[in-house]
């Protein structure tokens, strides 16, 4: 069943510090050009003094301005992020405070499915908006990956960037809406992408020289891609089932910006040309859950999609999960 929700506004924030591929090569002791050739990332943004909540609040202000709304119009704030500013309280409450809304009573909570957090949050809250539970909702993905990078892991260290994106969701009075959504998780790959430390299994008080790598990001990218790429064709079939649509009807595919190589292969599997596939990785890197909404933000601002266009938001995440949404923008 179609859910009558609309992305009314969108905004972003990028940290002040720009880190080039040449700088990354220098940091990891690689030959100039190695990291760009391997990852497809020419530059990315890393935080200096910015926090997750600060970036999220700045993106939210932009989204509200774009939507033509003010704080009083918002009745729910959701953080759809794979990283946290602190274990408690949730990111969304810290963003609310950063916005100066600490006495507002606006409902705040987090949704975390790592790189798919934005897609999952959008999917879940759409039911509540469609049913009238909430009127206008801020969904914010604010990610700082740079603090958790293991610079000894050449494969993963060259991929990531920091940034935030926010959207305002409201009930649609026109053709805009979510036409289909689907998610699958295959925990056989749960330990292929992880940060083992920081929770109750390896508590922060156990941080030591011996355990320090457990508190940094660890990934077997090849194994993840091998697993997920085999599953994507059947996943797409289930996502499109009962929609009366085919890939030819999709005006723009907005994928998770995992890596240049991965997106190239996914694009070929989907059989879509480059004009219908939003690729922004060279200037942003992989911004975890903010990757998909950042690509969406760029596609809107560049005029590559218009109201009424049909979009496919598609990504994978640690878990290993695959998730997607077909929506009419």
Give yes or no: 286 in active site.
yes
Active site residue 90: no
Residue 42 phi/psi, 5-degree rounding, is: -85, -35
Query: Which residue out of 45, 130, 256, 297 is catalytically annotated?
Result: 256
Q: Are the beta carbons of 257 and 281 closer than 8 angstroms?
A: yes
DSSP assigned state of 200: S
* First vs last C-alpha separation in the chain: 16
Residue 99 Cα distances to 74, 102, 113, 118, 139, angstroms? 12, 8, 25, 20, 14
> Which two tokens mark 90?
């949730």
What distances in angstroms separate CA 313 from CA 20, 100, 240, one per listed residue? 28, 32, 12
Residue with tokens 């040309």, as numbered in its chain:
273
Spatial contact of 140 and 99, defined as CB atoms under 8 Å apart: no
Q: Does residue 95 contact residue 104 with C-beta atoms inside 8 Å?
A: no
Q: Is residue 108 annotated as part of the catalytic site, yes or no?
A: no
In the set 90, 115, 130, 297, the catalytic residue is: 115
Catalytic residue among 91, 112, 136, 286: 286
Asked if residues 293 and 144 have their Cβ atoms less than 8 Å apart, the reply is: no
Give all strands of the β-sheet with 136-143 in edge-to-edge order: 5-13, 163-171, 136-143, 76-80, 107-111
Helices and strands (H, E) in the chain, number of each type: 10, 13
Active-site annotation, residues = 115, 256, 286
């Amino acid at each position: 069943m179609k859910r009558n929700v609309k992305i009314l506004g969108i905004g972003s924030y990028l940290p002040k510090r720009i880190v080039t591929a040449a700088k990354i090569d220098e940091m990891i002791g690689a030959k100039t050009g190695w990291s760009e050739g391997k990852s497809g990332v020419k530059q990315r943004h890393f935080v200096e003094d910015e926090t997750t909540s600060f970036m999220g609040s700045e993106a939210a202000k932009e989204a509200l301005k774009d939507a033509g709304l003010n704080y009083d119009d918002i009745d729910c704030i959701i953080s759809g992020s794979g990283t946290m500013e602190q274990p408690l309280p949730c990111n969304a409450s810290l963003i609310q405070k950063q916005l100066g809304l600490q006495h507002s009573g606006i409902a705040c909570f987090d949704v975390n499915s790592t790189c798919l957090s934005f897609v999952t949050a959008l999917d879940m809250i759409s039911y509540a908006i469609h049913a009238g539970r909430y009127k206008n909702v801020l969904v914010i993905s604010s990610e700082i990956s740079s603090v958790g990078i293991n610079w000894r892991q050449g494969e993963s260290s060259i991929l990531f960037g920091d940034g935030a994106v926010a959207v305002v969701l409201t009930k649609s009075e026109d053709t805009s809406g979510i036409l289909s959504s689907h998610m699958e998780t295959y925990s056989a790959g749960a330990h292929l992408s992880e940060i083992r430390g920081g929770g109750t299994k390896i508590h922060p008080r156990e941080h030591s020289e011996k355990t320090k790598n457990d508190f940094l990001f660890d990934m077997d990218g090849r194994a993840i891609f091998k697993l997920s790429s085999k599953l994507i064709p059947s996943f797409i079939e289930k996502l499109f089932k009962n929609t009366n649509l085919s890939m030819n009807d999709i005006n723009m595919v907005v994928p998770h910006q995992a890596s240049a190589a991965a997106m190239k292969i996914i694009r070929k599997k989907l059989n879509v040309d480059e004009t219908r596939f939003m690729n922004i990785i060279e200037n942003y890197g992989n911004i975890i859950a903010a990757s998909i909404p950042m690509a969406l933000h760029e596609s809107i601002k560049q005029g590559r999609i218009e109201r009424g266009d049909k979009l496919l938001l598609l990504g994978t995440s640690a878990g290993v999960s695959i998730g997607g949404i077909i929506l009419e923008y």
